[in-house]
Structures are given as structure tokens and as C-alpha cells.
Structure 1
């Protein structure tokens, strides 16, 4: 369930904080995924990591690891899990730039959605993506996500306003793909 031919999703451990900190402070990595673009101290990252990632009751996060090399290349999460209404939001960050555009994001997201729909029996998964992140939009659309709405001019980057695209996928649509 948590492994494909090239990657596996593994439980996050406290010793992953430094790798996560590196990605969280890489403005090129965060440009297309983080609305705040702040730089964080290692102590701030540790606090976030412990409280939001490791201790959360409404989130499940996993490190994306390449099987052949054992290299940790990203993180993926289900957040705001609502078990009563059987929905959640997903997040995907491939933090290692050498792995961008090679299909690792698709594999990681597919593993996460398999888990969400087949193990947790969730009904709906949503996500938010910046309108200029065309590569991510193609990925999400290819997996079966549909645009559900736009948060107009909700993000300011490089002197310009950009939309945030709200997308979602239902279990029945994912399984029929």
C-alpha cells in the first residue's frame, strides 16, 4: 500500500526535521507551494514539526523515499481529516529539486490517495494549488482532480496577484480512473 516501484511512503520520525527544515527554507521549493515564503529558524521548524506533523490528531504525514538510493525526496500529507464526513485535504512537496518532473510526485500522490480511499475509506480529498503552478495542475488533473473553485487574487508573488485553484476528487471518480 505504501510502496511503488520507485518510492515508498514511510512514517515521519523526529530525525527528519533537519531535512524538512532544508526544504522549508529553500525559496525555490516553497515558491509554488507555500503561501508565506518565510524563512524559519531550526527551532521554529522543530516546533512546527513536533506540534503540526508528529502530534496532530487530524493529519497523517509521510516522507517520500526513493527505494533504490534510500534518499528522502519529499513529504506528503493528509490534513484536516474529517472522519465523520470522510474527507481531507492533501499536500505534496517534492523537496529535492533533482527529482522534479520525473513522476515521483504522481507516484507519491497515488500512494497517498490509495491509502485515503482504500484504507481510511474517505469519500473526498481536496487540495489547493497556485494558478501559476501548471505542472502541479496537470498532475492533479491527470489523476482525476477537478477544479471546484477559485480564490481570486489570493496570493501575491513577485509583484503580481495570483489565484489559488481549489480542486477535489471523489473516491468513486478516483477508483474509476
Structure 2
């Protein structure tokens, strides 16, 4: 079934998820590997972000990742910058609940959103960006079939040193053949 695996279910993000998303967005451990700015956000600024960027965009689709057994929301996965004419989009995933890290939930969530992107939306290409120090995510994306397409050299300053942002992508036929 679309949006469901044995352990996870994706459900469309709603305004009611804003406080939970704000909690994840302000957890520096969670955002360290995915957010270039590492800012602290007020609930009001997160409400504006959710309303305008997540819910108000015609080129984005965001889903809360829920663990099925306990119905616990554990993260968010999104397709952004969806270009329907050229059939491509960018993918973002964050597992916000740290006790679910390292247990395969990220790969399950990615598989669900890629199934949606390629089978339902019939996209041709999905891309993502990953920080060069996030080796665990790079391994996951590579295992799922993403290929390195380039990098933005030394474009992220974290912990007193410069890091690259790696650009990766996967084509529909590559995903369907894997």
C-alpha cells in the first residue's frame, strides 16, 4: 500500500504538527546533519514556515513519518521544488525522534517517498543534498541507488571547519530496476 510499510506510515503534514516540528527543528542534534543554519526558531516563525513553505506551496509535499505500532510521529519526509513539467524534485528527510535513529526507519521512510515519487507522481529524477561529514546518510543514499552528481565545495562551516555539500540523484529507471 502506498505510504505504508510494515513499521511506518506516512501521513500528510497538517498545521497541528507545527509544535512537534518546531521541537525537531530546534533540536541541534537532529538538525546538525541536515540544516545548514542551525538557528533556534520561535514557534511563531515555525508556524509561518509551515503555513507558507510546507503547506502553502504547490511545489512541495510533506509527510509526517509515523511508527505504526505505537502511532508515534518520528520524523518528516518531503519532496520539494517539484517540477511537474520536467518531472523532477528534491527529497529531504529528518528523523526527529533520536531513539529511532540507527534502526532502519530512515531507509524505510525514503523508500516510501521514492515509491510515491516514481510510481505515483511518475517523476523522472529525485535529487538530494547531503553534508560531506554525514557518512551514514551517504551510505544509505548510495545503497538506495542515488549517485553522486557533484558537490558544492566548502560551502558549509561547521565546528570550526569547512565542509562540502554533496549533490546526489536517482533516476526513475534506476530506482525501478533496483
Provide the TM-score with structure 2 as the length reference. Answer: 0.99
Provide the TM-score with structure 1 as the length reference. Answer: 0.99
2:58 paired with 1:57: yes
Residues 111-157 of structure 1: per-residue CA shift (max 9 Å, x gap) = 00000000000000000000000010011000000000011001000
Residue 155 of structure 1 aligns with which residue?
156
Residue 146 of structure 1 aligns with which residue?
147
Separation in 1, partners of 2:22, 2:39: 12
Q: Secondary structure at the match of 1:162?
A: strand
Matches within 5 A, 1:40-79: 40-79=41-80
- 1:13 Cα deviation from its structure 2 partner: 1.3
CA RMSD, aligned part only? 0.4
Matches within 5 A, 1:64-103: 64-103=65-104
Q: Secondary structure at the match of 1:58?
A: coil
Separation in 2, partners of 1:102, 1:91: 18
| Count of equivalent residues | 177
Residue 127 of structure 2 aligns with which residue?
126
| Deviating 4+ runs (over 2 angstroms) | none
Which consecutive unaligned segments of at least 5 residues does structure 2 have? none
